[in-house]
Each structure stands twice: as C-alpha cells, then as structure tokens.
A = this chain, B = another copy of it.
Amino acid sequence: MTKKITRKELATCPDCVCFNIRKASRVVTQVYEEAMSKTGLRGTQFSVLVVVALFGSITITRLAENLVMDRTTLSRNLKPLEKRQLLKVIAGADRRTRVVQLTDSGHNTLKAALPLWKKTQQKIARLMGSERLDNLLGELRAIEKITDQM
C-alpha cells in the first residue's frame, strides 16, 4: 500500500461534477418515468420520440446528433421502441442510411405522454422557481459546451 490517503484529499470529492450530475440525473429520471409510467415510456424513449416527431423522418446518425447521444447507443435505444412498434426504421434514399419514423401507435403514445411530461416539468418549475430552473438548464448547456474544449 502506498501512503495512506488523507481525509483532506477526499474532502472535495463530494463536489465532483460527474458524481453530482449523475446522481441528480438518476433521481430526476425516476420522477419523469413515474409520471409517464401509464404510457410505459422511459425518459430517454420520450426524448427520442419527440425528436423523431419534430423531424418526421430522420436518419439514425442525425437523430443521434440531435440527441447528443452516441450513435451505437441510440441504435440500441431504438430497439425497444421498434419492438413496441412505436417507431419504424426503414431504408433511406442512400443505400447506407436507414430512416426513423413514428408509427401511428408511436404518435398516439407520444400524444398521451405529452401532458404527463408537461405536468411534471411544470411542477418542478413551480417548486424550484421558473428562473432558477431556466438558470439550471442554461448551466447544463454551458457545461456541455465547455466539455467540447476538453
């Protein structure tokens, strides 16, 4: 064993950005998923459906870019949504590409999830204060931007 780690060396670790953002991510995710449980949609799945709805038709790589998600991660996230037939992945113009589209069922499920999502979002805004929440969202985007430079 090397020299013992002092308490002082560990003192600042609870302020770890990675730890705290992951921790907050876990609890927030649970709140949203609980709220949307009626639809069976997970938080990530809701986000995917929203972006697909916004684009109408979008390739996997573009969708991943818009979600700031690894392409292979997204590919796998599409699987349960395809299985539930909430969206379909069909051949694109280019023989390399595959495009994602909502099915009617996906459209209906998203439609049902939207008010549940909104209610949750608004409740958080009310409890935290709209300005503070806007500030938080801004800071989250700021830290995303900063990580580009690292």
Which residues of A come within 8 Å of B, CB atoms?
1-5, 7, 9-10, 12-32, 43-44, 46-47, 50, 53-54, 67-70, 104, 107-108, 110-111, 114, 117-118, 120-121, 123-124, 127-128, 132-133, 135-137, 139-144, 146-147, 149-150
- 9 A-B pairs with C-beta separation under 8 A: A16-B50, A17-B121, A23-B69, A28-B143, A30-B147, A120-B150, A128-B142, A128-B146, A132-B139
- State A69–B20 Cα separation when bound (angstroms): 12
Q: Is the CB of B5 within 8 A of A53?
A: yes
Q: Is the CB of A16 within 8 A of B47?
A: yes
Q: Which residues of B contact A128 (CB under 8 A)?
A: 142-143, 146
Q: Is the CB of A5 within 8 A of B144?
A: no
Q: Is the CB of A136 within 8 A of B137?
A: no
Q: Is the CB of B21 within 8 A of A21?
A: yes
Determine which of B10, B27, B117 lies in contact with A147 in the assembled complex, contact meaning CB atoms within 8 Å: B27
Q: Which residues of B contact A143 (CB under 8 A)?
A: 24, 27-28, 124, 128, 136
Top 8 A-B pairs, shortest CB-CB distance: A18-B32, A25-B25, A1-B104, A24-B140, A18-B43, A136-B139, A13-B50, A19-B47
